[in-house]
Structure 1
Amino acid sequence: MSDSTHKEDMKKLQKEQREKVKAKYIDRGILVVNTGDGKGKSTAAFGTAVRAVGHGYKVAVVQFIKGNWSTGEQKIFEHFDEITHIVSGDGFTWDTQDKSKDIESAESGWSKVCDLIEECREESKYHLIVLDELNIALSYGYLDVNKVVEVLKNKPENLNIMVTGRGAPQELIDIADTVTEMKPIKHAFDNGIQAQRGIEF
């Protein structure tokens, strides 16, 4: 392809893209769901949180399931006054082996989420709330799907919410604006390689 042909193709593409942007007139917060068995659901959400902070916004991150073990995101969030970080889980369910305690932790975390959402109803305190591994809590039945969906469906108009975790329930997918399914192709762990600090956690 010649330079002149490439330039003409790019001009055409530029025009098409600008027309697409002009056609979008709705300005409101959205509900995003990152699900699937592949790696990157939480990582993408944390990257979005940092992006929002870069624009001067405040963000809340609530982590279900993962517990109080040391993670890279926990350490980096401490450096940002703009990020409110809440850990509500006691760890992976195969570690806790206590369903009633897991349910109690999930319900406590969800109560905090509801408070965060309400804080945005009269003033836009947060631009984005990340609900990390909420899908796991829902799939294990730690929280009532219908109650969660009702709250998220009636979030403040300008608030953005991101939900992560494999096994997103259909009820949540149905009300979401953007849904991404992470599909695994290969994973180092399957070949005997240990989870890497700074990559997996």
Structure 2
Amino acid sequence: MVEKRLEKGLIHIYTGNGKGKTTAAIGQGVRTAGGGFKVLMVQFLKGDDTGELHSIKKLSPNFELIRFAATNKFYFRLTEEEKVEVKKSVLQGLEMIKRCLKAESYNLIIMDEIMAVIYNNVIDLEEVREILLSKPHYIEMILTGRKAPEPLIDLADYVTEMTMMKHPFEKGIGARKGIES
């Protein structure tokens, strides 16, 4: 159980096709950790070595990051065998989140790219809804990813949609170390 509790834990969703969903979640995590609270970021479907991994390590023990179903491929490019392994890993991640909620181990739990997991039918939307509905009232939750489904939007207290108006990819500029990765 955490030493300090938030007065009231709300639910945030960062969604949309624009850049910045994970970055916004990390920013909130940094603010929360800086306030002396405990943060857990669970990333799904991300396997690249990114700058956030190294930054968050420096904020330990108040901010932890754990990856489940880490892959360097888009989901639609996975083989059927790889998809089975991804599903097993995602389910392990959700079980860990449930245990953390029950044990009240963190003040803020970030479920990064959970919308991609739902969108790709790796898990059922209802599993995530149940997690949100069962969370203690003083634990904050952030969910990120494109295409947030309406039932989750309805549960959320904050919903921010990142809209891409312009992106360097349109000019053939790929992800740059330290900026997009």
Deviation at 1:95, TM superposition (A): 7.8
Q: 1:107 to 1:171 in 2, by over 3 A?
A: farther
* In structure 1, C-alpha distance between the alignment counterparts of 2:75 and 2:109, rounded to whole Å: 27
1:112-127 mapped onto 2 (5 Å cutoff): 112-122=93-103, 124-127=104-107
Q: Does 1:167 align with 2:147?
A: yes
Q: Is the 8 A contact 1:114 1:151 kept in 2?
A: no
Alignment partner of 2:50 out of 50, 71, 96: 71
* In structure 1, C-alpha distance between the alignment counterparts of 2:166 and 2:114, rounded to whole Å: 25
Which residue does 1:22 correspond to in 2? Answer: none
Q: Does 1:102 align with 2:72?
A: no
| Count of residue pairs the alignment pairs up | 173
> With structure 2 as the length reference, what TM-score do the two structures score?
0.86
* In structure 1, C-alpha distance between the alignment counterparts of 2:10 and 2:149, rounded to whole Å: 18
Deviation at 1:119, TM superposition (A): 2.9
Q: Is the 8 A contact 1:32 1:162 kept in 2?
A: yes
Gaps of 5+ in 1: 1-26
Q: 1:126 to 1:36 in 2, by over 3 A?
A: same
Q: Is the 8 A contact 2:21 2:145 kept in 1?
A: yes
Amino acid in structure 1 at the alignment position of 2:15: T
Which residue does 2:63 correspond to in 1? Answer: 83
Deviation at 1:185, TM superposition (A): 0.9
Bigger radius of gyration among the two: 1
Gaps of 5+ in 2: 1-6
* In structure 2, C-alpha distance between the alignment counterparts of 1:97 and 1:187, rounded to whole Å: 26
Q: Is the 8 A contact 2:75 2:120 kept in 1?
A: no
Amino acid in structure 2 at the alignment position of 1:112: G
Q: Does 1:151 align with 2:128?
A: no
Amino acid in structure 2 at the alignment position of 1:104: E
Query: 85-94 vs 161-170, which deviates more?
Result: 85-94
* In structure 2, C-alpha distance between the alignment counterparts of 1:32 and 1:113, rounded to whole Å: 18
> With structure 1 as the length reference, what TM-score do the two structures score?
0.78
Amino acid in structure 1 at the alignment position of 2:22: S
* In structure 1, C-alpha distance between the alignment counterparts of 2:39 and 2:56, rounded to whole Å: 10
Amino acid in structure 2 at the alignment position of 1:174: D
Task: Point out the structure with the larger helix share.
Answer: 1
Aligned identity (percent) is: 36
